[in-house]
Amino acid sequence: MDKNAKQKKAAKARAEEEALNRILCWITGGVVLEFLLLLLSRYWTHYTVDQIDLRLALGTAVKILAVAGLCCTVGAGYWWNNARKSEKGANLPGTLCLFMAGVSVSCFAAWIVSDVGLKLMSFAVPAIVILALIYYLYQHEFFFIACQSVLALLGVWLCSRGLGGGYSMVCYAYVAAAAVLLLAFAFLCRKAQGERGVVELGGRTWELLSRDANYGLLYAGAVIALVTLVVAAIGISSMVLYAVSVAWVLIMAVYYTVKLM
């Protein structure tokens, strides 16, 4: 084995080890955050008369943690950025930054949207962890398709819980924001398609997709997610929409798993 081949093999081994460490960090952070969310939900919504004082104290603590978590996220993000530039130990500050962001967002959700926000975050956290695993283990195309499906599924869940009640405006705001994200992604895909997967943003070049990416599936995923969100906002049966979104992402999972072989 020549010197170049040995260097390539060593570089590949380092990259795989780094990816494994990041996956472990995502899983650990996600499990801890999900446990905290479930613990908070236990005393936030399902509390007895004897636990009213505890519930009031939690309400105050959540507001403090929401702001403190945001400040810690900014500080950890600065540490993470410096670590990435120096190429030294970026996993710890990165994990801390993302974890504190999750804590802050969860507390803001409980503060603003109460139990609906907590339930949404309890679904969002494992979904984000799964998306991270897909990002490191699969092609970027499948990652983006999975993101589209998760946006649609969360929209269906939110609309099925909040439409017709006090959170209708929150549902419509989410659907509008998700639709903008899907259209923006479709626009980026169109730019990448003309440049063999490369997109230029902010004066920098980003390799968004591989050269042999199947753009038809990406556009189809965006359309399916967009239609699902619009139909959910109208108030049509959520079970059918769940089935469509889940079936699509499972089909894509089989497709891209076969491509890896």
- Tell me if 106 sits within 8 A of 141, measured CB to CB: no
> What predicted TM-score, i.e. pTM, was given to this entire model?
0.79
pLDDT in tens, 181-235: 999 988 888 888 877 777 776 667 777 787 778 888 999 999 999 999 999 888 7
Give the number of other CB atoms < 10 A from CB of residue 59. Answer: 13
Structure tokens at 252: 């894509």
Residue 237 confidence (pLDDT):
66
Residues contacting 32, CB < 8 A, separation 6+:
99
pLDDT in tens, 2-42: 566 666 666 666 766 777 888 888 888 889 888 888 888 87
* Cα gap 171→222, rounded to integer Å: 19
